[in-house]
Amino acid sequence: RPDKKTIDCLIIHDSIHKQYGEYLAFGDHDASFQSVVNKNSRPWNEAVSRAARSLGFNEFTLKMLPTNTMRSARFQDTFDLLNDMTFVRKRTRVLGPIGTCKAHVGDMDELLSLIEKQTCRSNNTILEEELDERQGLMGAYEQVLKYCMHEVDDLTKKSTAGVDEEAVLSKSEGLRVTDVGIALHLLGASLGGYGFFDLEMRYYEDALRLKKLAPGGSRSLSASDTLHSMGFSLDNAGKTGRSLECYDQALEIRLECLGEDDLRVAETLHNKGALLCEEDRANESMECLEEALRIREWHHGEEHETCADTMQWMGNLLRKHGDPNEALEYFKFALSIKQKRLGSDDIDVANTLFNTAVLLDDIGKYELSLVAYKEALRIRQLVLGKMSQEVADTLFCIGNVATVLEKETDALGNYTDAIDILESLIRDATGSQQKNIDDTMLFISNPKSCSVELSTNYEKLTQCLEEALPLTKLVMGSDHPSVYDLLVRMGDSYMKLNDYDNAIGSLMGALRARRGDNPGSGDDEEVACLLQKKGIAHLYKKEVARAKKTFDEALQIRRRIPSTSSIQQTSSTYCLGASYYYSNDYSHALLLFQECLKVYIKESGEDSPIVAQTLYWTGKQYAKLGKPGKALEFLLSALRILKKDKAATDYFVVVSLLHSIGLVYEQDAVSSPEMALKCYAEAIGLIHSKLQPENRQCAKSLIAAHEASGMLCKKQKETDQAIEHLEKAHGLLESSDDKSRLASVSDTLGMLYESKGQEDLASAKKHYSNAYSLYEKHVGRDKLATSDCAFRLAGVLKLLQSSLALDFYKESLRVRRLNVHQDDERAGEILYFVGTILIKDKSFKLAVDALEESLAIGKSLLGDCRQVADTYHQLGKAYHEMDQSEKALILYKECVRINKAEGATDSLYRASLSLAKCAASCSQFQLAIDSYNNCLVAMQADESALDDKSALVLEKMGDINLLHLKKFEDAAKSFIDAMEIRRRHETEESFEDDVYANQILHLVLQAAKSFTLSNDNESALMYYNEHIDLLDKYFPDEEDLLADSLLELGNVLSAKASDDEAIEKLSDCLDIKLNLHGHDSADVSDVRYSLAKCHAKCGQNDRAAQLFGEALRCYEAEGNYQGVCNV
C-alpha cells in the first residue's frame, strides 16, 4: 500500500513475497510458480501488511527471518541463524524467553521437516551441502539456554546467597525466573521429541531449579508441569524409581493447588498407574487408574477417549494380575468408545484391537484373536503404511496364531512379510546396504551397539527368523535354498545384537547347508564370507585361537578361487592380522597389516577410509612393540584421512583413534600430556556432537575418554580438573555393568578429594565407601584391591575421628595377609596406624603389640628411615603412657637419631619434644634441655613455626632452668627470647585475646623472677614494673596478681637498699591483701614480714616490732615454723 512503503516494509514485503512464492512452488502443488503467485498475491500482501502493522517491523523480522530462509532451501544458513548469538539475543529481548523458545522450537520443527522432504525427493541422496542436523538443533537450543541463564544470572546468585531461597526474590523477580524456567521446559520437551533424552532431562532440571527460586515456586503448578514431564521422560528411559518420585511430587502439588477433581491430577494418576502396572505393583496401580478414571468420567462422561485409555490400562493390569475375562470386558468397552469417538480407522482403535487380540490369545480364543489382529492390521496399514514396525508386529502375531491353528503355509507367509518389513526398516535406519569394508571396521573398537529403536527391530527380526526357519523346513524341505538364506540372515541379526553364541550356531548351520555332504571340495566365495563372519564372532567371544583358524581357512579358500579379487583376499588377511593382535603376536600382526596396506592403497587410493583404518591398526602394532614415534606417524596419518572426507567418516572410528593417539602421547618416550589431553577432549566433543552419548557403546568411549583425561590430570597434579573428568566417568559408569571399573574410578576420586584437605574429607569418605562396597561385591572381599581400598577408607575415617577406622585397618590387614604370604611394607604401615589408634583409645598394651610388630617389619625391609623413626616415636608414647619411661627414653632417642640422619625436620621436632617431656618426667633435666635445643634446631628451616612452636619450647626450657637446674641467667634468656617471638606482631588489639595476654604476663613474670634469683635487680625491677603496668592497663580486676608483683617488687627494692620505695610498694601490697584475704591470712603474714624488715632497716623499730608481732601470731596459728623462725 502506498502509505506503507517505508524502506523496512518494502524489504519485508519483497523478500517474503519472493520466498513465499518459492515455498509454494517447492511444495506439493500442481500450479506453476507464476499462477501460484498471481492467485495468492493479494491475500499475501494484506497478510504482510497486517503483520507488519500489528507486530512492528523488528518483531516481524525476528519471527519470520528463519522461516523465510529455510523456505528458500538455505538450510545451513537457517541453522547458522538459529545458532547466532546476536540473533538469539535480539529475539529474546523482543519476544521474551517464552516467545523465543516457542519460535525456535517451531522453526526447528519446520526446518527438520523440510530437510526430510528434500532428502526424500532426492531419493535418499545427500544434499548439496553436508548438514549436521544434530549439532544444528543442539547448538541452537544451547544458545537460547546460555542467553536466558545469563539474563537471570543476577537473580540466581542472589537466591543462592540467601538462607531461604524462596524468600530472597521479589514477586517481579520471581516472574522473571519462572518465565525462563517455562522457556527451558519447552526446549527440553522438544529435545525429548527428537530422542535426546539425556539433554531433555538436563533442560527440565534447569527449568525446575529456576521455577523453585520464585516465591512459592517449589509448590507451583508450573513446577508440577515440569515434574510431570520429567516423570514421563524418565519412564521412557527406563528409570522407573526416579520417574515415580517425580510423578509423586507432581501429584502432591497438583492435588494441593487444584483439588482432587482436576484433569491434570487425572493425567498424573494415569501415568503413574501405567508405570506401576509395568512394575507389577498391581494394587497401587489399580488405585491410581480407578481414581484417574473417576475424574475423567466426571468431566467427560464415560464415553471419552481418555477414559478408554485408562480402561485399557486397567485391562492390561487385570490381564497380568487378575481375571482375564474381566480384563476382556474393559478392552471391549474401551474399543467401543474409541470406535464411536474416533471412527473405525483410527490408529488408537488399532492399538486397542491389538491388545484385545493378545488377551484373546492368552485365554485360547485364537479364532477371535485372528479376527482382531487382521482388523488391527488393516487399520495400521491404512494409517501407517505397509512398511511400519507396528504392521510387522501384527503380522508376527498373526503368524503365531496361524501356527497354533496349524495353518503353516499362512503362518510362513505372515512371518516372511514381517521379515521383509523389518529388514526394510533396518536398511532405512542404517543407510541402505552395508559397505564393503564393514568386516574390517568391526575390529577398530568394541562391538558397536545399536540404538534402542534399531536394536528392537533386530530383536523382532530375529524372532521372526526363528519362527520362520522350522516352518520353512516343514513346508519347503530342509534342503531348500531358503533354509540357507534364513540361517545367514539369522547369523547377521545375532551379530548385530552381539549374541555371538547364537550367531556362530546360525553360521555353522548355514555352512553345513552350503557345503552339503562334501565340505571343502566345493567351497566358494560365499563359504569364505561365512567363515569370516564366524571368525569375527569367535574374536568377540575372545576365542582368539578359533578366530585365527577360521580366518586362515577363509583366506586359503579365497586364494584357491581364481575369481577372488585382491580386496576380498586382503579382507581375510586384515581379519587374520587382527586375530594375531588379540593373541599378542604384534610382530606377525604388523607384517599382515603392512601387506594389507599395500593392496588397499593400490586398489582404493591413499585417502580411502579402509586405508585409514589399516594405518590405524599398523600404528597400534608399533605402539605395542614399543615404537611410539612410528606409532604416532601412522595414527596421525589415519586421522588426517578420516578428517578429510567428513561425509564418509565413521566418527566412532575417529573417537577410538583419538584415544589411541592420546595413549601414545602419554608414553614416557613421547611425554606430551598436553597433546594427550587435547586428543581426549576432541574425542569427548565428537561423541557429544556427532554420536549418541546415550548409546551404550558411545557411553563406553565417553567413559574411557573422561577416565583417561582424569588420570592424566591426576598425574599432572591438576586435582580439580581430574575430579571433574572422573566425576563424569563415574556418573556414566553408574548405569553400566562394569562395576569393578566403577569401583576403581570411585576409589581414585576418594584419593583426589582426600588430597584436597580437611574440607573435602566427607567427599573422600563417600567415594571410598562406595568403592569398598563395589569391590567387596563385584571383585571379592578377600582380594588385594579390596584390602587397599579398606586401608584408604580407614585413613579418612581416622582423620574424621570415626571409631570405624580401626575395624577397616584390621580388615585390610586380614585380607592382605591372606594374599601376601610374608608381611610387606603395607602390612607394617597398617600395623602402625592400628597402634596409633589404640594409643588414642588408651589401649596401650595392644598398641605396643601392634607397633612392635610394625617396627620389626620396617627394620627388616627398610632399615633406618622416616617410617621406622615414626614407629619408634609412637612406641615410645605407648611405653611412656604405661609409666615405663626409661624404655620410652630409649625409643625416643632412636627416633631422634634417625630423624637427624634423614634431615626430617618436622619429625625431629615432634620426637625431640616428646623426648624432652619424657626426660623431664624422669628428672633428667639436662637431657630435656638438650632435646628442647634439638627442637629449636629443627624449626630453623620452618619460618612459619617460629611464632608458635619456638616460643613454647623456649618457655619450657626457661621453666626447667628456673625450677630444676637453677640456671637463672639461662632461664631469663629463654623467657626473654620467647617473649620477643610472641611479641613480634603485637598491637594494641593483641591483648584483647585472653590467651595471648596470659602468655605475655606469664613470660614477663617468669623473666622477673629469673633476674631476681640471678641477683640482676635492675632487670628484675624493669620486668616487675612492666608486669604491674600490664595488669593495671589490661587486667584491673586481677588484684591478687598485682599484690604478688608488688610484694616481689618491694623485696627487690629492699635488696637494692631503696627502702623507702620498698615500703611504699609493700604497703600497697598489704592493703590489697588485707582487702582480699583478711588479717589472719598466710599471704598477709608474708607481706607483714617483708614490710617489717624494711621498717627495721630504716630505724622505725616500733612499726617494725608491730608488724613482726602480727606476722608471728599468724605464723604460729598456722603452724608455719619456718615463718616463726624467720621472725
The residue with greater pLDDT, 967 or 322, is 967
Which residue in the block uniquely carries the three cell numbers 517447492?
26
Q: What is the pLDDT of residues 667-707, one digit of tens each?
A: 988 889 999 999 999 999 998 888 877 777 788 889 999 99
Q: Which stretch of DSSP H or E encloses residue 598?
A: helix 586-604
C-beta separation of 838 from 850 below 8 A: yes
Backbone angles phi, psi at 702, to 5 degrees: -65, -40
Name 130's Cβ contacts closer than 8 Å, sequence gap at least 6.
646, 647
780 pLDDT more than 50: yes
Q: Which three cell numbers stand for residue 1125?
A: 623462725
Q: Are 660 and 619 in contact (CB under 8 A)?
A: yes
Nearest 5°: phi and psi at 46? -65, -40
What is the spatial distance between Cα 211 and Cα 203, in angstroms, rounded to a whole number?
Answer: 12
pLDDT band at 929 (very low <50, low <70, confident <90, very high): very high
Residue count of the chain: 1127
DSSP codes joined into one string, 517-576: T-TTTT--HHHHHHHHHHHHHHHHTT-HHHHHHHHHHHHHHHHH-TT--HHHHHHHHHHH
Is residue 655 within 8 A of residue 691, CB to CB? The reply is yes
Element (H, E) at 770: helix 761-774
Instruction: Note the pLDDT of residue 161.
Output: 46
Q: How far apart are CA 294 and CA 262, in angstroms?
A: 11
Contact assessment for residue 166 and residue 153, using Cβ atoms and an 8 Å cutoff: no
Buried b (16+ CB within 10 A) or exposed e, 876-888: bbbbbeeebbeeb
Helix axes 968-982, 994-1013, angle to 10 degrees: 160
Question: Residue 61 in contact with residue 12, Cβ under 8 Å?
Answer: yes
Q: What is the mean pLDDT of residues 296-303?
A: 89
Q: How far apart are CA 894 and CA 900, in angstroms?
A: 10
pLDDT digits (tens, 9 = 90+) for 261-290: 999 999 999 999 999 998 888 899 999 999
Mean pLDDT of 791-802: 95
| Distance from C-alpha of 781 to C-alpha of 790, rounded to nearest angstrom | 10
Q: Which residue has the cell 586435582?
A: 719
Give the three cell numbers for residue 95: 519476544
> What is the C-alpha to C-alpha distance for residues 1111 and 1113, in angstroms, rounded to an integer?
5
866: phi > 0 → left, psi -120 to 50 → alpha, else beta; which?
Answer: alpha
pLDDT of 622 reads: 96
Where residue 301 falls among pLDDT bands split at 50, 70, 90?
Answer: confident
Separation of first and last alpha carbons in the chain: 129
Question: How far is Cα 719 from Cα 656, in angstroms, rounded to an integer?
Answer: 26
- In tens, the pLDDT along 864-874 reads 999 999 999 99
3-class DSSP string for 396-436:
HHHHHHHHHCCCHHHHHHHHHHHHHHHHHHHHHHHCCCCCC
| Structural Rg of the chain based on CA atoms | 44
Mean of the per-residue pLDDT values for the chain? Answer: 87
Degrees to nearest 5, angle at CA 229 with 226 and 232? 155
Mean pLDDT of 14-28: 52
The owner of cell 474409541 is 338
Q: How far apart are CA 964 and CA 236, in angstroms?
A: 82
The count of other CB atoms within 10 Å of the CB of residue 157 is 9
CA-to-CA separations, 1047 to 137, 758, 1014, 1091, in angstroms, rounded: 90, 50, 18, 9
d(CA 377, CA 868): 82
d(CA 143, CA 234): 25
Predicted pLDDT at 947:
66
- Choose the weakest-confidence range: 194-198, 429-433, 948-952: 429-433
> Residue 162 — pLDDT band, cuts 50, 70, 90?
very low
Alpha carbon distances (Å) from 582 to 250, 538, 539, 623, 1114: 53, 12, 8, 14, 102
Is residue 457 a contact partner of residue 426, using CB atoms and an 8 Å limit? Answer: yes
How far does Cα 1095 stand from its chain's mean position? 85
- The amino acid that residue 112 corresponds to is L
Q: What local confidence, expressed as pLDDT, does residue 1083 receive?
A: 82
Q: Output the pLDDT for position 43.
A: 67
- Which amino acid belongs to residue 1040? D
User: When comparing pLDDT for 341 and 959, which is higher?
Assistant: 959
DSSP 945: G
Lowest pLDDT segment from 151-165, 399-413, 514-528: 151-165
Say if residues 728 and 688 touch (Cβ distance below 8 Å): no
Higher-pLDDT residue of 259 and 20 is: 259
Counting other chains too, the contacts that 992-996 makes at CB distance below 8 Å and 24 or more residues apart are none
In sequence order, the 6+-apart residues with CB closer than 8 A to the CB of 347 are 379, 380, 383, 384
CB 186 within 8 A of CB 101: yes
Mean pLDDT value of segment 20-34: 50
The pLDDT value recorded for residue 944 is: 53
C-alpha cell at 497: 545384537
| 272 grid coordinates | 503413574
Whole-angstrom distance, CA of residue 859 vs CA of residue 671: 37
Share of the chain above pLDDT 70, in %: 89
Average pLDDT over residues 472-497: 92
> Which of the 8 DSSP states describes residue 902?
H
Q: What is the pLDDT of residue 163?
A: 41
Q: Which pLDDT value is given to residue 48?
A: 59
Only one residue has cell 515455498, namely 23
Instruction: Dump pLDDT digits (tens) for 550-602.
Output: 999 999 999 988 888 888 999 999 999 999 999 999 999 999 999 999 999 99
Buried b (16+ CB within 10 A) or exposed e, 592-608: bbebbbebbbeebeeeb
pLDDT confidence bin for 988, thresholds 50/70/90:
confident
**Residues 894, 898, 903, 909, Cα dihedral to 10°:** -20
Q: Per-residue pLDDT tens for 1040-1095?
A: 999 999 999 999 998 888 889 999 999 999 999 899 888 888 889 989 999 999 99
Out of 134-143, 225-234, 542-551, which region has the weakest mean confidence (pLDDT)?
134-143
Question: Distances from the Cα of 387 to the Cαs of 89, 354, 505, 892, in angstroms?
Answer: 44, 17, 30, 87
Residues near 193 by Cβ (< 8 Å), separated by ≥ 6? none
DSSP secondary structure code for residue 776 in this structure: I
Classify 468 in phi/psi space as left (phi over 0), alpha (psi -120 to 50) or beta.
alpha
Query: What is the mean pLDDT of the segment spanning 74-94?
Result: 87
Phi, psi of 768 (to 5 degrees): -65, -40
Residue 93 pLDDT? 85
- Taking only the tens place, the pLDDT of each residue in 1008-1052 is 999 999 999 999 999 999 999 999 988 888 899 999 999 999 999
Express as a percent the part of the chain with pLDDT over 90. Answer: 58
Q: Which of the residue ranges 67-71, 765-769, 942-946, 1115-1119 would you say has the lowest mean pLDDT?
A: 942-946
Q: What is the pLDDT of residues 384-424, one digit of tens each?
A: 999 999 999 999 999 999 999 999 999 999 999 999 999 99
With 70 as the cut, is the pLDDT of residue 39 above it?
no
